[in-house]
Amino acid sequence: MELNDWILALHLISAVAMIAAVTMFSVMIAALWRTDDPAAVTSFMRLGLVGNVFITVGSIGTIVFGVWLAISLDAYQLWDGWVIAALILWVIVGAVGKQTGDGYRATSEMAAQLVASGSPRSPELAAAMGASRAFWMHCLSTVLIFVILVDMIWKPGA
């Protein structure tokens, strides 16, 4: 195997880590949909820490190894349209993902405060774990990651 084969493998593994994280977050959101139980939210949000590691490693790995491949391989250039599209989408996904994380982090903090105060149920928590802004930002980032995946597989214009 050549170096470029290893770089491609690491790029693909990073992409799988991102998809695994998005899947993990989606399962967590579905499992906690409109729950008003702060203890359940805090216990599930601990799993989100693993997802955070996956999304961080996946995001950094995809961009680093992807740019490296675009520079290293003669068949592709960093200024190819599909590469530029992927880079722009990657930045947008990062911004949208940050908003998603901030929203669910605030919800997690609310749940932790409710657990600490001994509150067994909270309608505000149920609303935050439903169709909230964080939920819609998660949906948007999921769609954008899918668009990046389509861009990477079919390389329009290449």
For the stretch 74-84, pLDDT in tens is 989 999 999 99
Among 107, 137, 99, which Cα is nearest to 32's? 107
Query: What pLDDT does residue 149 have?
Result: 95
For the stretch 42-60, pLDDT in tens is 998 988 999 999 999 999 9
Measured from the Cβ of residue 67, the count of other Cβ atoms closer than 10 Å reads 16
Average pLDDT over residues 92-118: 96
Instruction: Quickly list DSSP for 91-136.
Output: HHHHHHHHHHHHHHHHHHHHHHHHHHHT----HHHHHHTSS-HHHH
Q: In which band, very low, low, confident or very high, does the pLDDT at 120 lie, cut at 50, 70 and 90?
A: confident
Whether pLDDT at 27 is above 80: yes
Q: Percentage of residues in the chain with pLDDT exceeding 90?
A: 92
Whether pLDDT at 130 is above 80: yes
Among 140, 120, 138, which Cα is nearest to 129's? 138
Domain carrying residue 45: 3-154
Count structural domains, the chain.
1
Whether pLDDT at 91 is above 80: yes
Query: What pLDDT does residue 55 have?
Result: 96
